[in-house]
Chain A
Amino acid sequence: MNPALLSLLTPLATAILMLLCRSRAAVWTIAASLLSLVAAIAALYQVTTDGSQLIHLGGWESPLAIRFRVTALSALLLAFTALIHLLVGLYAARSRHSQTRNTDYWPLSCFLHASLASLWLSTDLFNWYVILELLGLTAVALVSLAGTKAHRAAFNYLLLSLAASLCYLLGVALLYGRYGVLDSLLLADMLEADHTTRTALLVITLGLMLKAALWPLHLWLPPAHAGAPTAVSALLSALVVKGPLFVLWMLWSQVAPVELGRQAGPAMAAAGVAALVSAGWSACRTPHIKTLVAYSTVAQLGYALLALGMLLRWGVRELHVALWLFVFAHGLAKASMFLAAGEMQSTLGSKKVSALRGATQTVPVAMFAFAVAGGSLIGLPPSGGFLAKWVLLQPLLLEPSHWPWALGVLLGTLASAAYVFRVIALSFDRAPPPRPDYNPDPVAQWLTLLPALLVWGMALGGETLILWMSGVAY
């Protein structure tokens, strides 16, 4: 079997099996993530040696068929998804504070994994609709695991996700009505910059921006991500918002006519800068730990949006690399940060940022994980976030006329430094006497550190990674 398909089917099969038999769910899920990771790496190897390949499901030919396409990027995303699931799964299985040990978390996270894997492989607009719905439904179900207190956030999340999907679907219907094709690879050669196409792209973009919580359509994200159980927050921030971003990127950089892209680019980039600044400001103001981390997700997505906008405007190849490096670095760092935030929150027994006073003494390893992950979000060298920023800044600084955008990156850096160090500065304060139920879990704290170490480890092979990513086809 094709390793990419294996990487997709492993979590899917595990999820279905788990509906029948629920014993040792955590072990099975972790094993499935591991197998999926291995398969994804095999797929990556295959793609780099043989080039991208098309898989026709069920043996149909296009335009009837549903095609999967394995490119270097989709294989990398498969591996990334499996890796994050593995790391988060380890934490969720081990931590005494994870709230998800004996719940429906395990089958649902496998479904989430499978949905994401098929999203990366898909090329069909309607297929993406179905997958985005699956992703949304699974994510909502995962958020509601936190108990009835999270149901309000889950409900709002669901409604917004459905509304966004319907926006997207309307756009897809318009495109199909105009061109009679749903496969994005076929559409790429056909699209013209007429009114129907513009309207369709606008509606689709709005839907996807809402789903990906891109500024200014991000207001649903902080309550949903902050209210979810810790492991779920990590998955949502690290992976789920990247799904619609992927579709948006495919659509604009591969399918949409270039002149439309040139017009839309600056608007997107401006929204990106606005996200960096405004969400960064919100993160500095919020009184709750997990809300702070959630706002940081909105802010960091601004970098991706900025890269996408500039990519559409100038068509510089390196910006593909910058965009995806941001996604990878943010995913790892944010997984670590959410896990650390959740672990600290449940060990210290309060959701407030102010409860982290003296956290370097009470929960040292988790606090260290938070700081290390935060360092990558700020883009301090030598972390994955720094690599991404380095690649992004080069085209921005190439010509004096582009420099104002670089100022946006500078502002973003300062904003992220402000909210990360807001927490770190507090953690060096003197710790209050511990609560009577203070019961730290050192192993779980070390597990939260693991993704953050990986994102700093990215820098070790930084040159290879960047050169490889600039070399592959997009």
Chain B
Amino acid sequence: MVSWTWLLPLAIILSSLIPGLLIFSLKERQEKLRTFLNLTGALVKMALVGVMLYGVSNGVEFRFSLPFLPGGGLLLKGDALSLQFVSLSSVLWLATTVYAIGYLEDSPLRSRFFGYFSLCVSATVGLALAGNLVTFLLFYELLTLATFPLVVHRGTKAALRAGRVYLVYTLAGGAVLLMGVVLLHTEAGTPDFVPGGYLSGMDSEGNFSSTVISGLAGERDFTLTVAFVLLVAGLGVKAALIPLHGWLPQAMVAPAPVSALLHAVAVVKAGVFGLVRVVYDVYGIESVRELHLNQPLLWLAAATIIYGSVRALEQRELKKRLAYSTVSQVSYIALGVALAGPLAATGALAHLVHQGLMKVTLFYCAGNFAETLGVHRIEGMNGIGRRMPLTMAAFTLGALGMIGVPPLAGFISKWYLGLGALEVGQDWVLLILVASALLNAAYFLPLIYRGWFAAPPDEWPEDKRWPALHPLLGETHWMLLLPALFTAVLSLLAGLLAGLDISPLAWGQLIVEREFAP
């Protein structure tokens, strides 16, 4: 009866891994088969995630384990937090796959691209389902390996340079993370992630006891602090916390679907998701507060938010501006985690999904402008709303959400973050939030203004790529347009229907209830 529950986490990973491996072996011209494999994988994954969502909300436990290291095996586990991330990845994977098929039509080396694309999603999902730190580390490194070929896919000088920078940052981050994981393993072993943190329930001999860590030996405190710094440094690379964010703006030379995935789900989110795991499920809020570690993390996140926004304001290239905006927006999640209160945590977890939906929309739209009209820079956006109204509408929704205009998704998460800051008495964080919203408005509103109200150029360039377009959705290829509209509508719904039980916010509240349960 219960025999299938262990299979489900594995099946969710395999549903993209197997198509990925098959795609590698395909010939370049077997386009139909490749598309079939891609879409089947994405749909099967969505269905499986749906089953798991249903199961977890009814309290079923999904565990798959494999003896890999003594005291820290390979463990895949579906819990509420992992599902927040898995659902986001599987929905956006489907959308991005459709987008990428349209985007890369007739370009070379597509089998290689889609192969690594699927591996990348497998690694992301594995990371989300990881049930302990060792497994998390494993998928974290695999993610690096799978995304590198995507970043350098175009094979241009700039792409290769960006790829090198990306590798230097992420591999060094991975090595530091490994040190942190092993250090923690020597101190406390590698138990499963536990809501509330397994270190909080352990005394100085490493035994589980009911007493919270109040009378710890000084050396253990020291070790735990060092381990925390190592873990945050390792994760901070992918989460693009300053000063470890240098790779992200460079990596935007990748093809648009890759940027979309990198910024919205795969890499950046993997880092932040790791932070959530470490703070909540490894150390536990209690220990992090006891060790006085949340305050530095909070400052770091706040600094990153402001820094990212200021740098975004300087950029004249659309994708670069979006990239710096990611640096800023992702740190909202780190901020919510570091605030260490239930309301802030709810906001952070909701923002994990909201930011993904909004950012992916913006990158799709940027890709559409570039592919259809060759517009890469902000100056080129004048009047673009008249030529491509639907794309521009999606862009507007995403941008307004980022600024935090009610009732869009971004507003919900910021509202909860603000309430959370007040709840724990860190009132200054409100100033950061307001400042960041103003900065966001300063770099997004001009784009919206240019797009709708500025005078268009006398003549748009001839669309050579798709001469015969669909009459109704005629502004660009439908495979580029639909995903953008789809995610834009989702981000609108996530805000409008935040009160429903199935919204990201509600799911975030469920996680927080479990994390902060006494």
> Which residues B152-202 have CB closer than 8 A to chain A?
152-153, 155, 160, 163-164, 167, 171-172, 174-176, 178-179, 182-183, 185-186
User: Which A residues lie within 8 Å of B148 (CB)?
Assistant: 424, 428
> Which residues A416-474 have CB closer than 8 A to chain B?
417, 421, 424-425, 428-430, 459-464, 466-467
Chain B residue at minimum C-beta to C-beta distance from A470: B70
Q: How far is the CA of A382 from the CA of B69 in the complex (A)?
A: 10
The number of residue pairs between A and B whose CB atoms lie closer than 8 Å in the complex comes to 84
The yes or no answer to A193 lying at the interface (CB within 8 A) is no
1/0 per position for A369-407, CB-CB distance to B under 8 A? 000000100111110000101100110011010000010
> Which of A378, A380, A410 has a CB less than 8 Å from the CB of B179?
A410
* B contact residues, total (Cβ < 8 Å): 38
Q: How far is the CA of A459 from the CA of B134 in the complex (A)?
A: 13
CB-based contact A425/B164 at 8 Å: yes
CB-based contact B73/A428 at 8 Å: no
CB-based contact A430/B138 at 8 Å: no
Which one of A394, A397, A424 has the greatest number of beta carbons of chain B within 10 Å?
A: A397
CB-based contact A394/B186 at 8 Å: yes
Is chain A's binding surface mostly helix, strand, loop or mixed? Answer: helix
The yes or no answer to A300 lying at the interface (CB within 8 A) is no
User: Which B residues lie within 8 Å of A14 (CB)?
Assistant: none
> Which of B141, B179, B219 has a CB less than 8 Å from the CB of A381?
B141
The yes or no answer to B351 lying at the interface (CB within 8 A) is no
CB-based contact A394/B155 at 8 Å: no
CB-based contact A360/B67 at 8 Å: no
CB-based contact A417/B171 at 8 Å: yes
CB-based contact A414/B171 at 8 Å: yes
Chain A residue at minimum C-beta to C-beta distance from B157: A429
CB-based contact A382/B74 at 8 Å: yes
Given known contacts A425-B164, A463-B70, A400 and B179 CB-to-CB distance under 8 angstroms: no
Is chain B's binding surface mostly helix, strand, loop or mixed? Answer: helix
Q: How far is the CA of A397 from the CA of B230 in the complex (A)?
A: 13
**Interface band, chain A:** 35 or more
The yes or no answer to A346 lying at the interface (CB within 8 A) is no
Q: How far is the CA of A390 from the CA of B155 in the complex (A)?
A: 35
The yes or no answer to B472 lying at the interface (CB within 8 A) is no
CB-based contact B182/A397 at 8 Å: yes
| Minimum C-beta distance from A389 to chain B (A) | 8
| Minimum C-beta distance from B120 to chain A (A) | 15
The yes or no answer to A286 lying at the interface (CB within 8 A) is no
CB-based contact B160/A460 at 8 Å: no
The yes or no answer to B66 lying at the interface (CB within 8 A) is yes
| Minimum C-beta distance from B24 to chain A (A) | 8
| Minimum C-beta distance from B69 to chain A (A) | 6
The yes or no answer to A278 lying at the interface (CB within 8 A) is no
Q: How far is the CA of A375 from the CA of B223 in the complex (A)?
A: 29
Q: How far is the CA of A285 from the CA of B83 in the complex (A)?
A: 46
The yes or no answer to B54 lying at the interface (CB within 8 A) is no
User: Which B residues lie within 8 Å of A381 (CB)?
Assistant: 134, 137-138, 141-142
CB-based contact B69/A463 at 8 Å: yes
CB-based contact B163/A462 at 8 Å: no
CB-based contact A463/B163 at 8 Å: no
User: Which B residues lie within 8 Å of A390 (CB)?
Assistant: 69, 182
CB-based contact A459/B160 at 8 Å: no
| Minimum C-beta distance from B313 to chain A (A) | 33
The yes or no answer to A282 lying at the interface (CB within 8 A) is no
CB-based contact A380/B141 at 8 Å: yes
CB-based contact B185/A394 at 8 Å: yes
CB-based contact A428/B155 at 8 Å: yes
The yes or no answer to A413 lying at the interface (CB within 8 A) is yes
Q: How far is the CA of A393 from the CA of B141 in the complex (A)?
A: 18
The yes or no answer to B401 lying at the interface (CB within 8 A) is no
Q: List 27 A-B contacts (CB under 8 A).
A: A375-B145, A378-B171, A379-B178, A380-B145, A382-B68, A387-B69, A390-B69, A394-B182, A397-B186, A406-B179, A410-B175, A410-B179, A413-B175, A413-B178, A414-B175, A417-B175, A421-B171, A425-B152, A425-B160, A425-B164, A425-B167, A428-B148, A428-B163, A460-B68, A462-B69, A463-B73, A464-B67
Question: Could you list which residues of chain B lie within 8 angstroms of chain A, going by C-beta atoms?
Answer: 66-70, 73-74, 109, 112, 134, 137-138, 141-142, 145, 148-149, 152-153, 155, 160, 163-164, 167, 171-172, 174-176, 178-179, 182-183, 185-186, 219, 222-223
Question: Could you list which residues of chain A lie within 8 angstroms of chain B, going by C-beta atoms?
Answer: 358, 360-361, 375, 378-382, 387, 389-390, 393-394, 397-398, 400, 406, 410, 413-414, 417, 421, 424-425, 428-430, 459-464, 466-467
